[in-house]
A and B are shown apart, each in its own frame.
Chain A
Amino acid sequence: MKRRMVFILIAWVCIAQLPVFALTAEEIIGKIDDIQTFSTSVSSGEISAKDRFGVKSSTFKAWTRGTSDSLIEFTSLAEKGQKVLRTKNELYLFYPDAQELIRLQGAALRQSMLGTDISYEDMTGEKDTLAQYTAVLAGQETLGTHTCHVVVLTAKTRSVAYPMQKLWIDTQSYVVWKSQYSTQSGRLLKELEVLETQEISGRLLSRKTKISDKTRKDTETTLTITSLEIDIALDPRIFSLENLTW
């Protein structure tokens, strides 16, 4: 009887653990993408690059809609009033001093913002990591006070910036606390750490993120989202040429 109770207890413990272990890497990545996918968003933030000469900052406001539409307006002194409107197939740049409207397509769509690690694609709503990467669950690790899934992503195509990614994903909140970006051979290039989070509409999202360039000494970029609203009603004219050149 005693042996039977022990067996039942072990069985219950195993069953209780089942949902955690049953999650596949694809399901974990799918959950992250779901959390980071918004129908619309309005945000403002600051990008700060630190090197041995000090800190250089740029501030911006951003509006996003659906999978591909975004409008970014720079508010910092040197770039004030410069705007970038990105749609699925086009990138429009507006320079207020020259009243110049430039339309770009092709490779320009994949460029980074202000020479940072943040691409225009990162600013838009929908994320589809699994379309570009194969995911493998490499176990669990504790990062500070957070228990994390460790998922390794390997690029399916050569069109992505990083052939390999290693992610530390909170088992409860699905916050990606840490990411490492590497070459095919495993050489570490960049490391991303979430320093602060904020809860928006029931989702825990990063507020302050540090990006360290592992190929250069004493350089790091910090992206701070100072305000964020998601899934709100936006005037469709925000994503028009009329608003871009206003």
Chain B
Amino acid sequence: MKRYPGILLIWLLIPLCWASAAEGPTINMDLYQIVSGMESEAGTRDWQYALSGTALVSFTSPSSGNVRGDIALDFSFPTEAITLKRAYMRIRFPSFRLTMGKTRLGWGSGALFNSGDVIFGSTDTQVALTDTELRTTTAWLTAVNLPLGTFSFIEAVVLPHQTFALEDTALGGRFYTTVGNLKLEAGCISKVDNGRLYSPYISLQGNIGPDWYLSSSVDLPVSENPLTAAKESLDISFGLFHMVRIGIDQTLSLRLESLIRPFQSWTDQFSALANYGLLFYAEASFVPDNTLTYLLRSEISPIDQSAALMAGVSWKVFQDFSLNSYLVGNIGDSDDLFPWKGQLGAMVGASWVY
């Protein structure tokens, strides 16, 4: 573990070398006034007020040449925590591309539920529905991308384990191509999580009027019966996305995703930690002009009949400055996946990029 700070420092210093040649830092600041209320055991409602926010400071290299990089620090208030969000460099060789550092690889398809994301995992429901991007986890990795044609490539990735033990290193690869109007992506990662396991996945995308996407993966531990493990871990994500032009320049975007785990629970388990066999994610976004966006998002658990809801509006008032407001709340019993608990939240704030 003593090696960790040293390695971290080296990784930080490498991108900072060209951070000095960057076009200047970009700061993305979000500040929110939060008013939330929760029902106490005595039946009274306790109201709270807080000021919260984040500032993402990003040093990006110029968008030219064959070496690029980005380093981004995330400052959170009021905890005053600083986290390294991204720190990577990317090198373009004549026949392949190398990425090293802390970044994200987007395997599979899906905004919330993506069974193809076998590196970071995109099947849990612990997300902030007010965030623009629902999945932003990054990890230290080295990846090689080998183009096979205009719309095809192979990608290999190596991720060190938290213990830095060589035998616990994660290795993976994927193949991405298009066949007619269909996108086909398949890959596998081998990682250590209570023993080594292999997680193959497949991801497809096409159009039937709306765009559709389908991903599926399983975890196959080396030490267990693969068939039993496959049944336990099999999950399938399916999504539909459609944009509708209303009038001349108004746009309505609709997204519906589902996560299907055939061998998990299909009856109410009366537990907020239950692994249910079916979950939905629904999103509707209406853009009446180039300054306003109305957004509705919901995670739905049909088996225990609970849901998390978010309604928001964003108004781009000035150049790179927006006023945002959100209402969030759950609908469900106290032992459901999305328990009500009498909790309601309202956020009003601003976003500024400079």
Contacts and interface: CB of A to CB of B under 8 A. Distances in A.
Contact of B153 (A89, A189, A241): A241
Interface stretch (B4-12, B30-38, B204-212): B204-212
B60 A81 contact: yes
A105 B207 contact: yes
A21 interface: no
Contact of A54 (B152, B287, B319): B319
B26 A77 contact: yes
Contacts of B316: 56
Contact of B133 (A54, A98, A112, A161): A98
Contacts of B248: 161-162, 189-190, 215
Contacts of A51: 291
A100 B86 CA distance: 14
A134 interface: no
B354 A103 contact: no
A73 interface: yes
A106 B153 contact: no
Contact of A81 (B63, B149, B210, B241): B63
Given A77-B26, A161-B245, A190-B248, A240 B147 contact: yes
Contacts of B245: 107, 110-111, 161
Given A73-B63, A99-B105, A105 B206 contact: yes
A99 B104 contact: yes
Interface stretch (A10-18, A114-122, A225-233): A114-122
A55 B68 CA distance: 31
A236 B136 CA distance: 32
Nearest to A246: B92
Interface string A83-120: 00000011000011111111111111011101111000
Band of interface residues on B:
35 or more
Contact of B211 (A104, A110, A162): A104
Contacts of A81: 60, 63
Contact of A80 (B60, B207, B317): B60
Given A89-B181, A97-B133, A190-B248, A246 B319 contact: no
B97 A108 contact: no
Nearest to B72: A97
A161 B104 CA distance: 38
A236 B97 CA distance: 18
Contacts of A114: 290
Nearest to B180: A89
B135 to A, nearest CB: 8
B241 A104 contact: yes
Contacts of A110: 245
B106 interface: yes
* Those 10 A-B pairs whose CB atoms lie nearest each other, nearest first: A115-B290, A105-B207, A242-B147, A240-B150, A78-B353, A100-B106, A99-B104, A78-B320, A106-B207, A56-B319
Contacts of B136: 97-98
Contact of A49 (B70, B183, B290): B290
Contacts of B103: 99
A216 interface: yes
Contact of A111 (B135, B181, B251, B354): B251
B211 to A, nearest CB: 6
Interface in B172-230: 176, 178, 181, 183, 205-207, 209-211
A77 B205 contact: no
